[in-house]
Amino acid sequence: MIDAATELQQTEPLTLRERLEAFVELTKPRIAITLVLTAAAAFYIGSAGRFDLPLFFHSMLGILLLAFGVASLNQWMERETDALMLRTQDRPIPSGRLSATQAFLFGLALCILAEFYLLVFVNQLTALLGLVVIVGYVLIYTPLKVRTPYSTAIGAVPGAMPPLLGWAAASGEVSLGGWILFGVMVFWQYPHFLAIALLYKDDYARAGIKMLPVVENSGNATARQMILFASALLPLSLAPYLIGLGGYVFLIGALILGIWYLVETVRATRSRTDRLYRKLILVSIVYLPVYFLLLVLGA
């Protein structure tokens, strides 16, 4: 049901500033910037002492445009389910600030521009990986969210691509270091997104989104997956040290981060309270940029 405030917002014309703000919100800028930071770290590490500043600028701009475009198309595809959930009903499309057509054309234009930019100013491999992100996230993962709880596993792949994009942009290939960072992103996502799903379980159920906490009543399978992936993340996150990509500072810092993430995951799954789910989400948000910062400083 749409409340009176939303109806008023839909009928009153938006100012230019309000419309621009709606388009910015459509791109999920905070998430996009976080992803670009992981790509930037991977670019630096993958440069192997041959850091090319102009190439870095072109790469990050192209990846940023890609992240903006994918986020916009994602919101366009989820406009109906977003309207059913309390946490998303104020997004630009369900709130009426932007039409579905506007959002689709905006997102499509950003994705096309990003792919063209990466192809021309970076390299073919990075553009190809960008296409994998678009297809995997928008055309495969997003539709599957209302069909199967395995969508989380599928979505983890395009969601973990930014380090591969950054690595490929710097080196023109994806070697072992890039795959390790990709794996770190994959494993990191499970406790993070399942904690969000647990926190907003009723919202997801209302919209028919089949996240694992929605389809299983006991919560035991969700807890096992969260602990399993947080446990696997710990040794994998230390792997860059073993192949010479980080020193002792990185090793100690990554170890502390991994233990912290695992402990908070175990605490959250045992208590099953919203307070500790929120804390785990916060820890996960801190983990990612700090981990990649440690990797850059130790490179």
Q: Among candidates 150, 151, 175, which has minimal Cα distance to 163?
A: 175
Hey, how many other C-beta atoms are within 10 angstroms of the C-beta on 172? 13
pTM, rounded to two decimals: 0.92
- Give the position of tokens 């994009």: 165
Report the C-alpha gap between 161 and 133 in whole angstroms. Answer: 7
Report d(CA 297, CA 299) in Å as an integer: 6
pLDDT band at residue 218 under the 50/70/90 scheme? confident
**∠ at Cα 59 (111, 131), nearest 5°?**
35
Which CATH architecture fits 13-174?
Orthogonal Bundle (1.10)
DSSP output for 73-97: HHHHHTHHHHTT-TTTTTSTTTTTS
Q: What is the mean pLDDT of the chain?
A: 93
What confidence tens digit (pLDDT) does each residue in 177-201 have? 999 999 999 999 999 999 999 999 9
Token pair in block for residue 50: 């041959």
Would you list the domain boundaries of the chain? 13-174, 175-299
What is the sign, positive or negative, of the torsion defined by CA atoms of 133, 135, 139, 141?
A: negative
Using the 8-state DSSP alphabet, how is residue 226 labeled?
H
What is the pLDDT confidence band of residue 116, given thresholds at 50, 70 and 90?
very high
Q: Which of 243, 267, 264, 255 is nearest to 291 (CA)?
A: 255
Dihedral angle, C-alpha 148, 202, 206, 223, nearest 10 °: 0
C-alpha 179: how far from chain center: 17
Residue 126 has a pLDDT of: 98
pLDDT per position as a tens digit, 34-92? 999 999 999 999 998 889 999 999 999 999 999 999 999 999 999 999 999 999 999 99
* Cβ count near 48 (within 10 Å): 13
Q: With CA atoms as reference, report the closest residue to 150 among 91, 73, 210, 105.
A: 210
